[in-house]
Chains A and B, each alone.
Chain A
Amino acid sequence: MEVLILKNNRFFTYVNNLGSESLGFYFSFILHLILLLFAIGLPNFFEPVPINIPNIIPIEIINVTDVTSIPKEIKEKKENTVKKAIAETKKFNNSEKQEIKKVDIKTKPKIEPKKSTKLTTPKEDVVIKEKIKTPIKLEKKIISEEKTESLPSKKIKPKIKPKIKTKSEIVDEKKTSDVIAKIQPKPKPEPQFSIASMLKDLRNERSSQTNEKKEKEKKSEITNDQEKEINKENLQLSISEIDRLRQQLSSCWIAPAGAVIKKGMIVKISAKIRQNRRVYDNSVRIVDTNISKSNSFYGPITESAMRTLLNPECIPLKLPKDKYDLWKNITITFDYSIMKGYQ
């Protein structure tokens, strides 16, 4: 029964119909995708829910004696016994609330002059048809346009002249002139009126309209180009933006109190930043450091570096909102070379 269902399934029929080459491609694509997902990891679609559970550190129970200090030998012996006792107390210490360890490509618009001729010719017919429907209006327009005949800009004329010369246009002209001649009932042409001039004017009007469109298109293309250029600029943070961030972070980087810092000590941390320019909880991590973990100042020095991004004075971070992609991940190197004077 299951086999039958599988056979009827569209997906399986599609897979069966696929050629061996395309099938192989799809399989390799899916496998590569899976491999990539394993290697790189899935992007964070959902924010992790922050859980505020403090690190549980056990409490050491220490007896403080009345007498100040004990000679070393006895102290050492006692320390061993105390350690054992502490270990025992840790095991059984469950009282109260003690916490235990278990506790774009820039496409320049190619303005081809030929395109304009192609566009104008078919449109003419359409417009004329409209004009046939409303002849009076047309006349008025023509008259008004006749009056303003001298107005058509010189810019348009040279564009139109070569168009008239084309064979197809001449044919069109004839056709349209015939149509107008037949349809117009008892036209009272004015002495200066001519079909050719009317067509000229219409073409001028049309061409002016198309030119306007073109100009608009050009403008929009230009603005698009500008935007693209701006976007390109946006692909990197400006020096002043980085300086502003650096200045802010420096004020939040409180040098580790009292720690002995040796020249050349470096701590590199990374963090993920939210779009609201706040650091993601628990995302601050040490990427690299040349301080040995056995160094008693390892903790204070690295903690002071990590604390910088969590300092309330650095929330929100002074970063440009529109360039989120550039700063969603941040790596900060704390160079202690100049901090030596603090010890």
Chain B
Amino acid sequence: MVDTGTPHRDPERTLETTGFRPRPYVDIVTGWTRRYRMQALGIVLGVIAWEIAGRAGISPALPPFSAVAAAGIEVWSGERFLQAMRSTAVAIGIAFPPSVIIGVILGLLMGLLRPAEWILRPYINLALSMPLVAIIPIILLIFGLSQETIIVVIVLYVLPVVMVNTYSGVRSTSSDLLEMAASVNASRLLTIRRIVIPSARGLTLAGLRIGVGRAITGGIVAEQIVGVMGIGGLVQRLGGAFAVEELYAVIIFIGAVGVISLAAVNRIEEHYELPGA
């Protein structure tokens, strides 16, 4: 295959000025950019290294990739896995949307009203700095071995990051724009609609992206501690039974879901990007 190379750093230095022809960024044959080819190559190399390490028998906790893949095909189609996945998905599906809506509303309030910030700030700092795992047993005591426990934990994981990002977005509003609004006597409502919300949009969407990751993390961590339901519960049970290959298969699934959801949120972010922002 012909090496297509990277584009020139300086787009001005093209054929006319230097006599050099910048190399195409996209592979003509496959349509892939060099970046994606390198990423695919990295994954293949990682899998090969894993296979070698697994076959070398370093540890019984490190089976070769081929064994994991074989176990995976069985696990991923099994009823136990599907049920666990459904349970986790439902918990995230119930917990995430209200966390985002409430988080955005509280974040806006914090950004717009000083007293709201003063009141909520300590809780946010606490939630962001404290390992939330520590309070899961308390939530478990309140809600018992039920899905409600998982849902509450996800909300606690997601809410603070959405709030703090929305708040930062509101506070990042340009003081020049606010002054302009004041100079034309714009009402508070119009100022918020036309200036504050568009200003806060970028950071709020970034908060959403972090929130997706935290929803998955929070859900699975809670399930692991509760131990009886969802993907986290399955991980716990497989680990306890020393079903190493199956355990890896489930972990790979969790990783894949995480990566795919991040990519999806990035897409949404790009789609809602504002002109000039």
Say if A and B assemble together: no
